[in-house]
Amino acid sequence: AKRDLTNLPLNLKARGVEFQILYVGRGYTDGDVLVYVTAEKVLICGRMLFAQTIPWLRDSYINEWNATLEQILKLDAEKVVPGTGELATRDDLIAFKGYLTDLYSAVKNQFDQGVPKDDIRWKVDLSAYQNWADYESNLRYNIEDAYDQVEAARKGGG
């Protein structure tokens, strides 16, 4: 079902605290919303950020997520509350955006060279992220999911 996010951003005030509910684009899902507490420069972003963690990206929007993170980085947030894990920072947002960029670019490069899906996980080197949580358990699936998205974009003319 298509989500109706046309009423966002929504500016609210509760108990003297002003905050915004924002939608800036697709990422982990097509309806991820953010809560930004403006005076405290705190961004609650749910599963839009996985700080130093490799999430399972099944059914996410890997390539669009980067553009969404670009929009998020335009906010002047100093503290970021991810969906799971410790309190994060802008640097964590930048690092996660780097992971998504590297993942998509590396897979796209291999796809363009004609590497079949069954072989691609052996060709893509994302060892720069090997110290992130869930690297061993989720990276292989993310490479395959990125391959599917690159293939779909090619078939769709993207």
Task: Give the mean pLDDT of the chain.
Answer: 92
If pLDDT is split at 50, 70 and 90, which confidence band does 86 have?
confident
Cα–Cα distance between 110 and 108 in angstroms, integer?
5
Say what the pLDDT of residue 45 is. Answer: 94
3-state helix, strand, coil in the chain (%, to 5): 40, 15, 40
Say what the pLDDT of residue 5 is. Answer: 64
Cα–Cα distance between 56 and 134 in angstroms, integer?
9
Q: How far is CA 89 from CA 79, 120, 149, in A?
A: 5, 32, 29
Single-letter residue type at 133: A
Work out the percent of the chain whose per-residue pLDDT is above 90: 84
**pTM, two decimal places:** 0.90
Asked if 24 and 34 touch (Cβ cutoff 8 Å), the reply is yes
**Measured CA angle at 101 (ends 137, 148), to 5 deg:** 65
> What's the pLDDT tens digit per position in 115-149?
999 999 899 999 999 999 999 999 999 999 999 99
> What's the pLDDT tens digit per position in 22-49?
999 999 999 899 999 999 999 999 999 9
Provide φ and ψ at 44, rounded to 5°: -100, 110
Asked if residue 158 has pLDDT above 70, the reply is no
Asked if residue 2 has pLDDT above 60, the reply is no
Q: Is 102 left (phi over 0), alpha (psi -120 to 50) or beta?
A: alpha
